[in-house]
Amino acid sequence: MNLILLGPPGSGKGTQGKRLGEFLKIPQISTGDILRQALENKTALGLKAKGYMERGALVPDEVIIGVMEERLGQADCSGGYLLDGFPRTVAQAEALEAMLTRSDCKIDRVLSLVVSQQELIQRMVGRGRADDKEEVVQQRLKVYEDQTAPLVDYYLKKGLLKVVEGMGPVEEITSRLLKSLR
């Protein structure tokens, strides 16, 4: 099963993605984690991504698409995967589709986590990651609205989208997500 977890920053994609991945026994692939790891290791990718991440902008499509082409070609992805943080733009979604078509695969379901704006800001400021400073948080929310939210419609039109309420206890949200896969 190939899944996409969609949602604004702070919606719990990371937390829920890990839980769902474990439950479904498929790798959870987080572009945010890949980029933070690259940053920590000061790799070429990390150096390229650093400035964008620090100001809450998206890393350029061609960079992230290259990363994902490589990652999804690895052996552990052959039995399916859950994507967290990718695609984040329509161009990325189109590139993903092209990649999948080439290997005779497809996206099975897109789960969209919905959380109120107020709660998003509280969660992010509360977790205190380097890019969770208030100004950067506002910027990331704006980038989400402008560049990522159009994917909700994109996948709705393809008949792949399920909207899941992302507020409440972590375990409950996980069961809602699992239920929406049935």
* Candidate list 58, 96, 151, 177; residue touching ligand ADP; CB under 6 A: 58
Give me the catalytic one of 42, 55, 106, 127: 127
Check if 36 is active-site.
no
**How many residues at the interface with ligand ADP, by CB under 6 A?**
19
Check if 142 is active-site.
no
Q: Measure Cα distances from 107 to 3, 4, 15, 179 in Å.
A: 6, 8, 21, 18
Q: Closest CB to ligand ADP among 85 and 166?
A: 85
For position 31 contacting ligand ADP by CB under 6 A, the verdict is yes
Which residue type does 60 have? Answer: P
Check if 127 is active-site.
yes
Residue 126: CB atoms within 10 Å: 9
Q: How far is the CB of 144 from ligand ADP (least distance, A)?
A: 7
For position 59 contacting ligand ADP by CB under 6 A, the verdict is yes
Q: How far is the CB of 170 from ligand ADP (least distance, A)?
A: 16
Distance, CA of 150 to CA of 165 (rounded, Å) = 18
Q: Which runs of E-coded beta strand occur in the chain?
A: 2-6, 28-30, 81-84, 109-114, 161-165
How far is it between the farthest Cα atoms of the chain?
A: 43
Check if 179 is active-site.
no
- Phi-psi label, residue 10: left if phi above 0, alpha if psi -120 to 50, beta otherwise: left
- Report the residue number whose CB is nearest to ligand ADP: 32
For position 155 contacting ligand ADP by CB under 6 A, the verdict is no
- DSSP, collapsed to helix, strand or coil, labels residue 180 as coil
CB 24 within 8 A of CB 1: yes
For position 56 contacting ligand ADP by CB under 6 A, the verdict is yes
* Candidate list 96, 107, 111, 140; residue touching ligand ADP; CB under 6 A: 140
The binding site for ligand ADP (CB under 6 A) comprises: 9-10, 13, 31-32, 35, 52-53, 56-59, 64, 85-86, 88, 92, 131, 140
Catalytic site positions: 13, 88, 127, 129, 140
